A and B are shown apart, each in its own frame.
Chain A
Amino acid sequence: MTETLLKVHGVETYYGNIRALAGVDVEVRRGEIVSLIGANGAGKSTLMMTICGSPQARTGTVTFDGQEITRLPTHEIARLRIAQSPEGRRIFPRMTVYENLQMGASLDNLKYFDEDVEKIFALFPRLKERKAQRGGTLSGGEQQMLSIGRALMARPKLLLLDEPSLGLAPLIVKQIFDAIRALNKEQGLTVFLVEQNAFAALKLCDRAYVMVNGRVTMSGTGRELLADPEVRAAYLEGGRH
């Protein structure tokens, strides 16, 4: 349970001359759910994308499952079974829902597609109804479901979720968080997620990191951070329910 799956060490990432990550250390152990919270522009999405090599870290290292992946091209990182539901969802707009899910399963050449797609449809029945619709015409919430579903289709060892609750109705958010918890408990899926909804994220996770201006400023168990006065003041008060 305590074996490290992902280790981000001293990572700095730049966009041109702008430094978005200023030496980040983060660790995710096998079987954990880890949350990352922080204000807008803190660098959360940049960290998610840096793990996937797009953009690559300028300094520092990213290690996954014992292998250094800092300089690997993005598609090779994906082949190690790191799947991401990225910021902005990035649904292929002119592909159907079904084809988007097929894209998620391209690593295994659709070998487990039929079996897995049923699980996704059970999780999000809405996607089943919309299966022949073009991704670009889905509602924001439907796109979010599709993005998460597509990431799960890759049978990931590590699932990266960038704001999975964005734009979703509270009931669906609860469904998604329940689903994440269930996948984690039943299949041991390791999850690293970014959330604006700090309260829900801290309740869901085993551990969490707080990011400010490209640096991790605080970390601890979800419970600890929920109780922390600073965290409460900055991320929880007012946005409680």
Chain B
Amino acid sequence: MEYFVQQLINGLTLGSIYGLIAIGYTMVYGIIGMINFAHGDIFMLGGFAALILFLILTSVFVGLPVVLLLLVMMAAAMLTASLWNWTIEKLAYRPLRGSFRLAPLITAIGMSITLSNFIQVTQGPRNKPIPPLVSSVYNVFGISVSLKQILIMILTVSLLAIFWYVVNKTALGRAQRATEQDRKMAALLGIDVDRTISITFVMGAALAAVAGTMYLMYYGVIVFTDGFVPGVKAFTAAVLGGIGSLPGAVIGGLLIGLIESLWSAYFTIDYKDVATFSILAIVLIFKPSGILGRPEVEKV
């Protein structure tokens, strides 16, 4: 029993990270119907930005409180990732809007390769370690929960609450949903559609950067290829949850985290990805639009 709960907690932590990345996929897909393949690399970039800031800060100031350190790392990661995503949207995706559907997708794959190669060249091809920042572990009824895990989960829940609020209750969120549902009508009502799309890319990147920072802190190591596998998993999470749906992205992320850690715990770790993707396939057979995806029934 303890072992099971332990794996549950590990799974939820991992799932939180996937969920945060998945939100960026799902928001961008929702608003412009494009799969931003470079999103996983934006996540990796965020991790590297956090690492670099850590190295700078710890060499300049000695004995900085960990909370402050983490906050500044996260802010730097968010800024860097947002700036990148904003720029590639403007330079690479926007000019292709309105051309055939595969064009932005192929461009996004190109951006993904560019980004990971850029990091490989500038940061080197090897694993970059970071010393443990938060190492407390609590023991509750024989289950060990680390402070890192608690931090990740609290952060995920808070960010979700903020995002839910922005999307559902603010003028910006309304503009985003309007743009998603009928771009031309949104413009007729005075919404700057290009700007709204830019902001969506920035928001997605900021969340991915938080996830990147958490990932770095959790595993203590990052490498230039780290955008790929977590990126694909998060994309899977978005599809599993129902692409276009915010809560779906998180539920999908948590599910994939859970499947992975429970499978690794009880079966063979080598097949954990097979398990994940099999479940994705099964869900999609029975519910093609994903768990919370909307079947298209509206009359317009």
Stretch at the interface among A61-69, A74-82, A163-171, A195-203: A74-82
- A106 CB contact (under 8 Å) in B174, B181, B300: B174
Chain B: which residue is nearest A137 at the CB level? B298
Give the contacting residue for B171; candidates A109, A134, A150; CB below 8 A.
A109
Does A99 reach chain B (CB closer than 8 Å)? Answer: yes
Contact A93 B300 (CB under 8 A): yes
With an 8 A cutoff between CB atoms, is A38 at the interface? no
- Is A95 interfacial (CB 8 A cutoff)? yes
Residues 153-182 (chain B) with a chain A CB within 8 angstroms:
171, 174-175, 177-178, 181-182
B191 lies within 8 A of A106 (CB): yes
A108 to B182, CA, bound (A): 21
Residues of B within 8 A of A107 (CB): 189-190
Q: Nearest A residue to B187 by beta-carbon distance?
A: A74
- Please tell me if the beta carbons of B298 and A154 are within 8 angstroms of each other in the complex: no
CB distance from A120 to the nearest CB of B (A): 15
Q: Known: A54-B184, A86-B185, A106-B175. Is A94-B190 also a contact (CB below 8 A)?
A: no
Q: B172-208 interface mask toward A, CB cutoff 8 Å, 1 = contact, 0 = none?
A: 0011011001101111111111000000000000000
State the majority secondary structure of interface residues on B.
Answer: helix
A35 interface residue, CB < 8 Å from B?
no
Interface size on B, residues (CB 8 A): 21
A50 at the interface (CB under 8 A from B): no
Residue of B175, B177, B184, B299 near A136 (CB, 8 A) is B299
Over the window 93-115 of chain A, the binary record of Cβ atoms lying under 8 Å from chain B Cβ atoms (1 yes, 0 no) is 11100010011101101100000
Contact A95 B189 (CB under 8 A): no
CA distance A83 to B188 in the complex (A): 7
Distance in Å from the Cβ of A122 to the closest Cβ of chain B?
Answer: 22
A185 interfacial contact with B, CB 8 Å: no
A104→B181 CA distance, assembly (Å): 15
Chain A residues near B300 (CB-CB < 8 A)? 88, 90-91, 93, 136
Contact B191 A52 (CB under 8 A): no
Bound complex: CA of A107 vs CA of B174, how far in Å? Answer: 13
Q: Given the complex, which residues of B lie within 8 Å of A99, measured CB to CB?
A: 174
Which residues on the B side are within 8 Å of A102 (C-beta)? 174
Q: Give bound CA distance, A54 to B298, whole Å.
A: 25
Taking a contact as CB atoms under 8 Å apart, the answer to whether A154 and B189 are in contact is yes
Asked whether B177 lies within 8 Å of A52 as measured between CB atoms, the reply is no
- Chain A, residue nearest B181 (CB): A92
Q: What are the residues of chain B within 8 A of A137 when measuring CB–CB?
A: 298-299
Instruction: Report how far A109 CA is from B184 CA in the complex, Å.
Output: 20
The answer to whether B185 and A79 have CB atoms under 8 Å apart is no
Interfacial chain A residues near B190, Cβ < 8 Å:
75, 78-79, 106-107, 154
Residues of B within 8 A of A103 (CB): 174, 178, 186, 189, 191
Residues of B within 8 A of A73 (CB): 187, 192
**Cβ of B185: which chain A residues have Cβ within 8 Å of it?**
86, 90, 92
B182 in contact with A54 (CB, 8 Å)? no
- In the bound assembly, the distance between CA atoms of A160 and B185 in angstroms comes to 13
> Is A45 an interface position by the 8 A CB rule?
no
**Quick check: B298 and A90 within 8 Å, CB to CB?**
no
Note all chain B residues with C-beta closer than 8 A to A144: none
Identify the closest chain B residue to A94 (Cβ): B181
B171 A84 Cβ-Cβ under 8 A: no
B187 touching A75 by the CB < 8 A rule?
Answer: yes
The docked-state distance in angstroms from the alpha carbon of A78 to that of B191 is 9
- Shortest A205–chain B CB gap in Å is 23
Q: Report yes or no: B178 in contact with A95, Cβ–Cβ below 8 A.
A: yes
8 interchain pairs, CB-CB under 8 A: A78-B190, A83-B188, A90-B188, A92-B177, A93-B299, A103-B189, A106-B171, A150-B189
Chain A residues engaging chain B, CB cutoff 8 angstroms = 52, 54, 73-75, 78-79, 83-84, 86, 88, 90-95, 99, 102-104, 106-107, 109-110, 134, 136-137, 150, 154
Closest 4 CB pairs of A and B: A136-B298, A78-B190, A74-B187, A93-B298
